[in-house]
């Protein structure tokens, strides 16, 4: 008879007493436990600005999805704070509507009924002392009535200009104080983290003064995407790629985040921010850091941050920014069969706006691994399609024994990590075309998450909110990373100040100057 892990007999560990199976190290059980999803301690999630688009389209649906997957603690409270004259029932109705419209998992009325009993609302404005006193006392009451033990995470789903007001209120009421609360208190800060290095330092100093540094979670939702995390697995769990992941074999790296939409109703934010501050400073530089980092000594938040920070500090700006740092602004054009307006014709955008809706730059990394390898980063709105990808282009073979006509359609070997929308990995390499001739052309091998795994990937906010409640900061940039990123962006913004952005027609892949930038190096942009 074979023994299962629970049937194995007690054994002696030497001179000591017999050790029962439940207390003994067991590889089968240990491996199983590592695969089990972690569930946070009882806690509250307080969402400031809960009536905004981010909360309705991302945060509230993510909370429902976590509940539906059984990943919320049994004792959990969702507490909304906004300038509305609402009762708990009014907020519950809004939350249900938002979750039903945008949740990724199937709707389950029983799951919602259980969650609805733990949804509360506190009305008030951010400068209202009385409202924050009420919020503080409500959390104290929930410690006993809902068993949250003083644990609470605060999500600042509000404009960055309001961060100081809210943080000072939390400091005044001691809501951010772990000792006073009797549990843990954490804060989630949405990007952008300031608008330049000076403001980022000021914000970091404020938030780290109110909360302890370990309790500050600066959220970049791109780092919660499954494919971004898979980049580390691809590199460090496989022997196949790491030996060629360096300047000996890599010709260049292209990181693209393209959007087919315009600015929508975000003119007030976007026109003072632009593509470089909105996307390049955070999303793309984080993707660059993950692509170029050395292997961490362990898979922990501190070890990963250490390696990413080394990359960010080693970034070299182009010596000739006029040729290798390009800004663009979309003009009227056609997308998906519809005519779309120019950027300056969008609602609330000034007619003489010089804000860029497109940015592209060539960066270098001054490390032994990447010396001489250009990293091309680009982002833009009103481009032909929505796609985010990291493309590693390898050098061509130093010698081909075939004739030129046999290989004229052969390009660079490529490893492409698609972050969105079709998450997966593509490997492009040369293969012989069937037939009597020796003709070689590019072929692709595709890995798609949706086809390889039966379980769907969690939405980025779902994963990141869970990590906040667990206290796992692995996927959250620290203040040193934020400040190092601004040291890359600030000189570019200074160079671009007052310049007219290059025009490009909506539906095209950016301005001609961006194509010229790569052509100058004998390269061209990859078409996603």
Q: Would 300 be classed as within a structural domain?
A: yes
Q: Would 527 be classed as within a structural domain?
A: no
Please tell me whether residues 186 and 239 are part of one structural domain: no
Task: From residue 321, give the alpha-carbon distance in Å to each of 76, 399, 435, 489.
Answer: 51, 35, 48, 12
pLDDT, tens only, 251-309: 999 999 999 999 988 888 899 899 999 999 999 999 999 999 999 998 888 899 999 99
Please tell me whether residues 9 and 70 are part of one structural domain: no
Among residues 139, 167, 190, which one ends one of the domains? 190
Whole-prediction pTM: 0.86
Please tell me whether residues 367 and 499 are part of one structural domain: yes
pLDDT of residue 174: 93
- Provide the Cα torsion 58, 63, 69, 71; round to 10°: 130
Q: Would 217 be classed as within a structural domain?
A: no
Q: Would 430 be classed as within a structural domain?
A: no
Residue 78 three-state SS: strand
Full residue range of the structural domain in which residue 122 is found: 43-190
pLDDT, tens only, 136-187: 999 999 888 888 888 999 999 888 788 889 999 999 999 999 888 888 999 9
User: When comparing pLDDT for 30 and 94, which is higher?
Assistant: 94
366 pLDDT higher than 50: yes
Confidence of residue 10 (pLDDT cuts 50, 70, 90): very low
Q: Would 205 be classed as within a structural domain?
A: no
Catalytic pick from 146, 195, 283, 412? 283
Confidence of residue 372 (pLDDT cuts 50, 70, 90): very high
The CATH number of the domain holding residue 138 is 3.40.50.720
Please tell me whether residues 25 and 51 are part of one structural domain: no
Q: Is 283 a catalytic residue?
A: yes
pLDDT of residue 284: 95
CB proximity list for 303: less than 8 A, separation 6 or greater: 296, 297
pLDDT, tens only, 44-58: 999 998 888 888 899
Angstrom distance (rounded) from CA 153 to CA 465? 9
What string of DSSP letters covers 228-272?
A: HHHHHHHHHS-TTTGGGSSTTTEEEEEEEEE-SS--TT-HHHHTT
Please tell me whether residues 243 and 332 are part of one structural domain: yes
Q: Would 526 be classed as within a structural domain?
A: no
pLDDT of residue 16: 42
Our count of domains for the chain comes to 3
Please tell me whether residues 20 and 95 are part of one structural domain: no
Angstrom distance (rounded) from CA 391 to CA 406? 25
Please tell me whether residues 101 and 130 are part of one structural domain: yes
Please tell me whether residues 18 and 47 are part of one structural domain: no
Question: Mean pLDDT score of the chain, rounded to an integer?
Answer: 86
pLDDT, tens only, 395-432: 987 666 655 555 556 678 889 999 888 888 998 877 77
Please tell me whether residues 31 and 109 are part of one structural domain: no
């Amino acid at each position: 008879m074979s023994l299962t892990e629970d049937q194995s007999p007690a054994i002696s560990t030497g001179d000591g007493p017999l050790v029962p199976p439940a207390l003994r190290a067991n590889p089968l059980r240990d491996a199983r436990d590592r695969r089990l999803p972690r569930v946070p301690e009882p806690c509250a999630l307080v969402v400031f600005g809960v009536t905004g688009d981010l909360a309705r389209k991302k945060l509230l649906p993510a909370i429902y999805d976590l509940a539906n997957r059984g990943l919320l603690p049994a004792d959990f409270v969702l507490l909304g704070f906004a300038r509305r004259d609402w009762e708990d029932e009014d907020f519950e109705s809004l939350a249900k509507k938002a979750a039903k419209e945008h949740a990724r998992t199937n709707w389950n009325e029983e799951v919602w009924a259980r969650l609805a009993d733990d949804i509360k609302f506190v009305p008030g404005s951010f400068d209202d002392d009385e409202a924050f006193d009420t919020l503080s006392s409500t959390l104290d009451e929930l410690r006993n009535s809902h068993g949250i033990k003083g644990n609470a995470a605060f999500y600042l789903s509000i404009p960055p200009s309001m961060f100081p007001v809210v943080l000072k209120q939390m400091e005044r009421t001691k809501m951010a104080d772990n000792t006073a609360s009797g549990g843990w208190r954490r804060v989630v800060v949405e990007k952008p983290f300031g608008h330049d290095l000076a403001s980022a330092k000021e914000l970091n100093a404020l938030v780290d003064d109110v909360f302890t540094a370990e309790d500050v979670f600066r959220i970049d939702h791109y780092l919660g995407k499954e494919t971004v995390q898979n980049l580390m697995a691809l590199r460090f769990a496989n022997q196949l790629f790491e030996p060629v992941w360096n300047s000996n074999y890599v010709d260049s790296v292209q990181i693209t985040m393209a959007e087919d939409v315009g600015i929508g109703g975000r003119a007030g934010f976007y026109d003072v921010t632009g593509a470089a501050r909105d996307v390049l400073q955070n999303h793309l530089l984080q993707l660059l850091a993950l692509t170029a980092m050395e292997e961490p000594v362990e898979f922990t938040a501190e070890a990963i941050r250490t390696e990413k920070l080394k990359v960010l500090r080693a970034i070299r700006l182009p010596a000739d920014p006029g040729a290798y740092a390009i800004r663009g602004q979309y003009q009227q054009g056609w997308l998906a069969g519809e005519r779309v307006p120019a950027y300056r014709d969008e609602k609330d955008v000034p007619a003489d706006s010089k804000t860029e809706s497109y940015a592209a730059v060539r960066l270098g990394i001054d490390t032994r691994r990447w010396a001489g390898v250009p990293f091309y980063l680009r982002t833009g709105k009103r481009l032909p399609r929505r796609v985010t990808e990291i493309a590693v282009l390898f050098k061509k073979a130093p010698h081909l024994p075939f004739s030129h006509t046999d290989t004229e359609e052969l390009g660079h070997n490529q490893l492409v990590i698609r972050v969105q929308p079709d998450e997966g990995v593509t490997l492009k390499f040369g293969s012989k075309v069937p037939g009597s001739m020796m003709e070689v052309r590019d072929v692709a091998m595709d890995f798609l998450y949706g086809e390889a795994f039966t379980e769907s990937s969690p939405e980025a906010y779902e994963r990141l909110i869970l990590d906040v409640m667990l206290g796992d900061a692995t996927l959250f940039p620290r203040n040193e990373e934020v400040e190092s990123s601004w040291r890359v962006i600030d000189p570019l913004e200074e160079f671009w100040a007052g310049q007219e952005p290059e025009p490009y027609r909506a539906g095209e892949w950016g301005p001609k100057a961006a194509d010229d930038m790569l052509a100058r190096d004998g390269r061209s942009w990859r078409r996603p």
